[in-house]
Amino acid sequence: MAAASTPARSSAHLSQPVRVVLRVRPFLSSEAASATAPCVSLLGCHPGGGVTVQLKDQHTSRSEQYKLDAFFRQEDSVSQIFDQEVRAVIPSIFEGINATVFAYGATGSGKTYTMQGTEDFPGLIPLAASTILALCTGTWCSVEISYYEVYMERCYDLLEPKAKEIMALDDKDGNMQLKGLSWVPVRSMEEFQELYSIGVQRRKVAHTGLNDVSSRSHAVLSLRVSSTDVVKGKLNLIDLAGSEDNKRTLNEGIRLQESSKINQSLFALSNVISALNKNEHRIPYRQSKLTRLLRDSLGGSSRTVMIACLPQTPIEKRNIVEETPGATPLERFNALGSNLKEALVQQYLDLLNVANKEELQQLKGIGARRAEYILELREDSPKPFKTLEDLGNIGLSSKQIRDILKKTATGIFK
Ligand SMILES: Nc1ncnc2c1ncn2[C@@H]1O[C@H](COP(=O)(O)OP(=O)(O)OP(=O)(O)O)[C@@H](O)[C@H]1O
Ligand SMILES: [Mg+2]
C-alpha cells in the first residue's frame, strides 16, 4: 500500500528546513498479548502537502489529531521512505549542500530498523550509500565514509579497531571537529557493507527492559562526496538512541546514567531544530556534543528530515510526536522537547533514589553535605523521591528547586 504523503515531494524538500514524517512499526510477537486495535490511523491527505493522523490513547480512549508532512504505515517499506523522503536530498550533496536524516523516537520504536535495516530489508543507510555510489559511477566524483558514535557525551570512531575514542576540539572558527576521525574511500557497495557492518558490531548496544538490542549511543554515518579532491557536500544518516522512561525500562546503575545522557542530548537537539525553524538569532548548538558536531549540517542551507518512529502499542503521551493542529514541524519538535524535559526531571529524581555519594555530588544543587544527608534519609526511611517538591525535604528552597528545573533542561548532568 502506498504511503500517505506529500505529492510534490522534491519541491517540498527545497522549501522546508525540517520535514517531519511519521513511521509506525507493526506489533512484535512479544507484544501480541497486549496488542489491540492500532493506535494510529490516517485521517486525510492535504492537497497542498501533509497529512492528518489520529493517535488514540488506548488506556483512556482519548484521541488527538496531528498534522505531519507524511505518514508511513506499518506495511510501508523502508525503500518507500527512502524514495519519498531521502532520494530528493541526495542531488544537493553533489552541489555542496549538506543534509541530515535522522530517526527519532522512544526506545524500541524502530529507529535502528529504519536506518540500518536487516539483511533482507536494507535500511536508509545502505539505500543512500548505493544511490550515491551509483551517481558517482562514470564521473570524477568519489565517496568517503565516516562512522562515529556519541556515547555519554564522548565520541568513538566506529571505523577504528575497538572503536577508538576521538577528541572533539573546536577549530579556529569555533566549530567542533573530531580530531583524527577516519574518512575511508569506498568504491563499491561491497566495500561499503564491509566497513559499515564492522562499525555496527562495534556500536554500544545493550539489553533493556523495553528492547533486547537497545542502542545506547547516537551513531552518525556520513557519506561525503568529492570531485577532483575538492569536497562537495555530505549526507549524515543518524540512528539516535531512544528517549526513555525509566519507570518502564527498569534501568538502573550505568543504564540509568546512559539514559539521562541520551534524554539530555535529545532535548538539546530538539532545542536546536526549534530555534532554527523560528529563525532565532542564537542557535543553542553548544548544549550537547551531537549538536555541536552537526552544526555544519543542521540549519543554513542544509536539508533535514526527521523520521519520528512510533510503535503500534498503546500510546503514552511522552512517546508520540505531539502537535497541535496546524503547528509547524518545528513546533511539533518543540513539543517533543517539553516531554523530554519531564523525562529529564524524572531522571534527576531517579538518580537521587539510586546514586552513590560521589554521583550525588555531581548533581547540580547537591553539595557534599546534602549528598550525605540524602544517603542518610534513604537509609532511615527508604522513601523514594517522587516529585520535585520532595526536594524540599532535603533543605532546598523553592528558588533552588526552580533553578534545578531550569538547569535540568540545559545540561544538569556532568
Ligand atoms: N518495521 C518493522 N518491522 C518489523 N520489526 C520491526 C520494525 N521496526 C522495528 N522492529 C523490531 O522492533 C524491535 C525494536 O526496534 P529497534 O531496535 O529498531 O528500536 P530502536 O528505536 O532502535 O530502539 P532503541 O532506542 O532502544 O535503540 C527490534 O526487534 C526490531 O527488529
Ligand atoms: Mg536503536
In whole angstroms, give the CA distance from residue 58 to residue 87.
36
| 387 annotated to bind ligand | no
Average pLDDT over residues 38-58: 78
pLDDT tens digits, 142-166: 999 999 999 988 999 999 988 999 9
pLDDT tens digits, 272-307: 877 776 778 888 898 899 999 999 888 888 999 989
Distance from Cα 103 to the centre of ligand 2, integer Å: 9
pLDDT tens digits, 355-369: 888 888 877 778 788
Q: How many helices (H) and strands (E) does the chain have?
A: 13, 18
Distance from Cα 307 to the centre of ligand 2, integer Å: 13
In whole angstroms, give the CA distance from residue 379 to residue 373.
10
Distance from Cα 275 to the centre of ligand 2, integer Å: 26
Residue type, position 146, single letter = S
Name all domains of the chain by residue range, CATH numbers in brackets. 4-354 (3.40.850.10)
Please compute Rg for the chain using Cα positions. Answer: 22
pLDDT of residue 315: 45
Q: Where does the pLDDT of residue 32 fall: very low under 50, low under 70, confident under 90, or very high at 90 and above?
A: low
pLDDT of residue 249: 56
pLDDT tens digits, 375-385: 888 887 767 88
Enumerate residues lining ligand 1, CB below 6 A: 25-26, 28, 105, 107-113, 211, 213-215, 241-242, 309
| 106 annotated to bind ligand | yes
pLDDT of residue 53: 83
| 137 annotated to bind ligand | no
Mutate to test the pocket of ligand 1, among 211, 248, 261, 266 (most ligand atoms within 8 A of CB): 211
Quick one: cell of 361?
A: 555530588
Q: Where does the pLDDT of residue 58 fall: very low under 50, low under 70, confident under 90, or very high at 90 and above?
A: low
Adjacent-strand bridge partners of 236: 100, 222
pLDDT tens digits, 61-73: 667 777 788 999 9
Which residues, including other chains, have CB under 8 Å from residue 216's CB and lie 6 or more apart?
Answer: 151, 204, 205, 206, 241, 255, 258, 262
Q: Where does the pLDDT of residue 400 fall: very low under 50, low under 70, confident under 90, or very high at 90 and above?
A: confident
In whole angstroms, give the CA distance from residue 63 to residue 235.
37
Comparing 50 with 165, which gets the higher pLDDT? 165
In whole angstroms, give the CA distance from residue 52 to residue 66.
5
For the ranges 166-180, 237-251, 317-331, 349-363, the lowest mean pLDDT is seen at 317-331
In whole angstroms, give the CA distance from residue 123 to residue 143.
19
Adjacent-strand bridge partners of 64: 55
Mean pLDDT for all residues in the chain: 80
Helix (H) or strand (E) holding 51: strand 51-56
Comparing 316 with 331, which gets the higher pLDDT? 331
Comparing 257 with 158, which gets the higher pLDDT? 158
